[in-house]
């Protein structure tokens, strides 16, 4: 048992509760997803034992490495990292139920082919680059609706909403603008009434900014550091990769 993880989880839940109260929302409108990059299976199991079953990795290699160790413990796997098309098969093998980082049509087409062959479907969120930072993945905001339309035509992919990584800044109002943009895109997509498209999920907010995200309508926050502690690698290791070499 890693008691600090359990204490951290409690503290995070209190923060969620406070943010929900402040914005007049109910806590069960906000799901807590645990971002488990660099976290060992034992430590993940401690969090799972506290009843938190929604987890996500950023890298396919880590997903594969932890798959066996976590197999016996009930949980739901999402994927939140940049995905190369040649790694789709691993995502299917590791029973990922939702790809939150769908950001280009070429990836969607390949995913559709593999799902078709496996006679399966998968939930997806469209990742939008709301911060304008070139180091982060995601489709440009003004291309979002076009991508949603294209992906909606692929019957094995079930669009459930949008995902974003907010600007890294201590200026809360600038971070808030990112979340507002995602919310406004959600409304635009909803208004377009595209058959087969659901827009209930807004995955936004991390350890440092999830209160703001909740105030702006997040339905899912993705938390790593606040639960598992500081990571050894800087986030640039996960986010600043050259698209061609990921």
* Positions that interact with ligand PLP (CB under 6 A): 35, 37, 58, 80, 165, 206-208, 222-226, 238
Nearer to ligand PLP, 41 or 194 (CB): 41
Q: How far is the CB of 229 from ligand PLP (least distance, A)?
A: 9
* Residue 231 near residue 35, CB atoms below 8 Å: no
Take residue 77 and report the two structure tokens written for it: 């796997």
CA dist., res. 178 & res. 164, Å (int): 8
Nearer to ligand PLP, 77 or 207 (CB): 207
Q: How far is the CB of 203 from ligand PLP (least distance, A)?
A: 8
Q: How far is the CB of 112 from ligand PLP (least distance, A)?
A: 23
Nearer to ligand PLP, 88 or 163 (CB): 163
Length of the chain: 246
- Chain centre distance of CA 150: 21
Take residue 47 and report the two structure tokens written for it: 């969090």
C-alpha distances out from residue 212 to 124, 215, 233, Å: 24, 5, 25
Q: How far is the CB of 165 from ligand PLP (least distance, A)?
A: 5
Nearer to ligand PLP, 20 or 165 (CB): 165
């Amino acid at each position: 048992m890693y008691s600090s993880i359990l204490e951290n989880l409690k503290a995070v839940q209190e923060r969620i509760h406070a943010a929900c109260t402040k914005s007049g929302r109910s806590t069960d409108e906000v799901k807590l997803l645990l971002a488990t990059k660099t976290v060992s299976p034992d430590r993940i199991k401690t969090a799972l034992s506290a009843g938190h079953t929604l987890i996500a990795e950023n890298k396919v290699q880590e997903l594969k490495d932890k798959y066996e160790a976590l197999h016996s413990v009930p949980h739901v796997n999402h994927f939140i990292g940049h995905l190369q098309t040649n790694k789709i098969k691993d995502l299917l093998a590791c029973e990922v139920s939702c790809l939150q980082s769908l950001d280009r049509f070429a990836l969607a087409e390949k995913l559709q082919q593999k799902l078709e062959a496996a006679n399966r479907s998968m939930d997806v969120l469209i990742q939008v680059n709301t911060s304008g930072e070139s180091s982060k993945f995601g489709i440009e905001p003004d291309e979002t609706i076009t991508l949603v339309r294209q992906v909606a035509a692929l019957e094995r992919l079930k669009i459930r909403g949008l995902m974003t990584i907010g600007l890294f800044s201590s200026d809360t109002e600038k971070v808030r603008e990112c979340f507002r943009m995602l919310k406004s895109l959600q409304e635009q997509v909803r208004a377009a009434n595209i058959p087969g498209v659901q827009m209930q999920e807004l995955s936004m907010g991390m350890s440092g900014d999830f209160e703001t995200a909740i105030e702006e309508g997040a339905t899912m926050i993705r938390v790593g550091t606040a639960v598992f502690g500081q990571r050894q690698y800087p986030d640039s290791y996960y986010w600043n990769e050259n698209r061609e070499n990921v």
